[in-house]
């Protein structure tokens, strides 16, 4: 089972490269890359990428360029919002940001890839999580706009009171 997961993840990286030639060229500019993904409650995944070799395993590597320490929900949020939280990156943060930007801005349909490699159920859960996170962000932005509007009104009133006191 472990080998099947590793093969699936390896072919996933190849599919990402093939699905977006722009991403492939961006990644080839910075190859070789070696990093780990440490998700809370899961085994650490070690990934080494080079032009010809894509190695994904659960076996610890001698040296890695950077590490991503996060939870599954934070990774989903990162994929949906396309905003990188630098507090989850350790090691060569600059390289990590370049790699993550190349992957995030590749315009891939991650739900389709999840469906292809992990099945309909996983894709449905990912889609529901995406919709929930999107609706939560929409509600937060509405509240932020209301607060900004009220602060603006208060500022205008304060300016008028100050102007009235000066006259």
- CATH at residue 26: 3.30.1050.10
Mean pLDDT across the chain, nearest whole number? 78
| 166 occurs within a structural domain | yes
What is the tens place of the pLDDT at every residue in 103-119?
A: 777 766 667 777 776 77
Same domain, 130 and 100: no
Percent of the chain residues topping a pLDDT of 70? 80
* Residue range(s) defining the domain that contains residue 6: 2-108
| 81 occurs within a structural domain | yes
Helix axes 21-30, 2-19, angle to 10 degrees: 110
Least confident of 22-26, 65-69, 141-145: 141-145
> pTM for the whole thing?
0.58
DSSP state string for 23-72 = HHHHHHHH--EEEEEEETTS--EEEEE-SS-EEEESSPPS--SEEEEE-H
Asked if the peptide bond before residue 32 counts as cis, ω within 30 degrees of 0, the response is yes
Same domain, 148 and 77: no
Same domain, 22 and 53: yes
What is the tens place of the pLDDT at every residue in 150-161?
A: 777 777 777 777
| 119 occurs within a structural domain | no
Same domain, 90 and 149: no
Same domain, 72 and 17: yes
pLDDT at 37: 87
């Amino acid at each position: 089972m472990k080998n099947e997961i590793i093969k699936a993840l390896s072919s996933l990286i190849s599919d990402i490269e093939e699905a977006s030639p722009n991403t492939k060229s961006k990644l080839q500019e910075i190859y070789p890359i070696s990093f780990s993904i440490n998700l809370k409650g899961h085994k650490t995944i070690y990934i080494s990428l080079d032009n010809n070799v894509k190695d994904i395993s659960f076996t610890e590597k001698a040296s890695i360029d950077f590490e991503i320490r996060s939870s599954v929900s934070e990774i989903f949020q990162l994929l949906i919002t396309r905003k990188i939280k630098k507090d989850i990156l350790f090691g060569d943060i600059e390289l990590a940001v370049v790699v993550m930007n190349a992957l995030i801005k590749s315009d891939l349909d991650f739900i389709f890839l999840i469906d292809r490699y992990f099945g309909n159920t996983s894709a449905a859960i990912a889609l529901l999580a995406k919709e929930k996170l999107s609706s939560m962000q929409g509600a937060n932005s509405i509240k932020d706009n209301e607060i900004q509007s009220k602060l603006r009104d208060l500022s205008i009133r304060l300016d008028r009171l100050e102007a009235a006191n000066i006259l």
